[in-house]
Amino acid sequence: MRHWFQFPIREGDTSRQAHCDMPPGTFEREIGKEGFFGPATHMYHSHPPTGWSDWEGPLRPRAFDTNKLPSLGHSPWDATPLLHNASLKVRLWQSDKSMNHLVRNGDGDECLFVHRGEGRLFCDYGHLSFSEGDYIILPRATSWRLEIEQPVTLLMIEATHGSYMNAERGLVGHHAVFDPAILEYPRLDDAFKAQSEQPGEWQVLLKARGQINRICFPFNPLDAQGWTGDLTVFKLNWRDIRPLMSHRYHLPPSAHTTFVANDFVICTFVPRPIESDPGALKVPFYHNNDDFDEVIFYHQGNFFSRDNIEAGMITLHPCGFTHGPHPKAFAAGARHSRTETDEVAVMIDSRLPLEVAELPDGVENIDYVNSWQVKS
């Protein structure tokens, strides 16, 4: 058995409670282990912990604008790679044309987040409609295709060699954040039966070990007559997520966990009231998340802790340095100028360091590292 070294210590001028009633003129910084689940220390600084004047070296905050990516191909396997490691692959796929083939991911479960568009998904389990804001979870080796009714932009998150599971909700119970009853699964309805009878040859593009295998069938493999069990495709829309909240305490991102996989989690930030207690922080606290790389995909709304961030952008904050709200956002929080958020964003916390794929010129905002500097 192993246990963290933990014993209560208080040194110098500190707050009595984390994230509340800071000593005047100080800035709180949380240094934590295990992504907000392990032991932590709260430092109280005279200056903002992100107030660097210059930065050299590759370990820096980075921002990418996926709106500047080219639209390539009509298969999910044409998606643009963005970030990756041994347990996780993040890609973005844009398409305006229905698929004339099936795909199957033999490398891991797939999570599709529908940033834009709508249509219908056909898979081994049946037919499921989808639209903007849906998460779609596809178990490993599921055959599927999309019929697109409005051009789609999908954030694709592969749990390489892993599976997506529900988060432990602890004291709040398993109906918190979202009730499993809200999940929708594919049906063997008339639309599914009609497509299964389409004649001709069908191709399945199987991705396995990072390579594409083309498998041809003289019939449509999506021809199930029935199924029973507790493994299936399902969808969840961000509008059905009811976030944990506290009017007196700013909750850490881990409170908003939606899916858990090997070595990473997916969290969803949705609109909520901002903390109303006069002494409580109104924006995310400065912190060192030294065991996880943090990624945020900005879906829609006003991203209250960031400056000059638009829908469709992605930020990467590698572990190993302090980060937190931009100066304008921190000042707005101190004034309590807003009473609620309207942002929707997908966050990925990855235990393993993430590598950035080669991207076209202009996609990365190379000045993002300077966005915490106070402009005179």
The domain boundary residue, chosen from 181, 216, 238: 238
Q: State how far the Cα of 347 lies from the Cα of 327, in Å rounded to an integer.
A: 21
Same domain, 126 and 190: yes
- pLDDT of 270 reads 94
Residue 121 phi, psi (nearest 5): -105, 130
Same domain, 78 and 49: no
3-state secondary structure of 173: coil
Please report whether residue 17 resides in a domain. no
Same domain, 160 and 229: yes
Same domain, 206 and 233: yes
Same domain, 214 and 340: no
Same domain, 101 and 152: yes
3-state secondary structure of 339: coil
Same domain, 294 and 330: yes
Please report whether residue 341 resides in a domain. yes
Same domain, 185 and 300: no
- pLDDT of 38 reads 80
Q: State how far the Cα of 178 lies from the Cα of 167, in Å rounded to an integer.
A: 11
Same domain, 78 and 216: yes
Cβ-contact 54, 84 below 8 angstroms: no
Q: Please give the annotated binding residues, written as ranges.
A: 287, 293, 323
Same domain, 229 and 326: no
Q: Please give the annotated binding residues for homogentisate, written as ranges.
A: 323
- pLDDT of 195 reads 95
Half-sphere exposure of 16 (CA within 13 A, CB side): 2
Please report whether residue 113 resides in a domain. yes
Same domain, 87 and 225: yes
The domain boundary residue, chosen from 192, 212, 238: 238
Q: Which among 42, 127, 250, 317 is annotated as catalytic? A: 250
Alpha helical stretches, state H, the chain: 190-196, 327-335
CATH for 275: 2.60.120.10
Helix and strand tally (H, E) in the chain?
2, 20
**Threshold 0.85, pTM exceeds:** yes
Q: Please give the annotated binding residues for Fe cation, written as ranges.
A: 287, 293, 323
- pLDDT of 276 reads 87
Q: For residues 28-62, b (16+ Cβ closer than 10 Å) or e, as one string? A: bbbebeebbeeebebbeeeebbbeeeeeeeeebbb
CA distances for 97 relative to 102, 167, 331, angstroms: 14, 35, 45
Number of structural domains, the chain? 2
Please report whether residue 2 resides in a domain. no
Mean pLDDT by 10 residues, the chain (376 residues): 84 90 90 81 90 90 94 89 98 96 98 98 98 98 98 97 93 90 97 93 96 96 97 98 88 88 96 87 81 94 78 93 79 73 94 96 93 73
| 84 tagged catalytic | no
Q: State how far the Cα of 69 lies from the Cα of 167, in Å rounded to an integer.
A: 33
- pLDDT of 251 reads 83
Same domain, 255 and 146: no
Note down the domain range covering 342: 27-63+247-370
- 100: left (phi > 0), else alpha (psi -120 to 50), else beta? alpha
- pLDDT of 287 reads 84
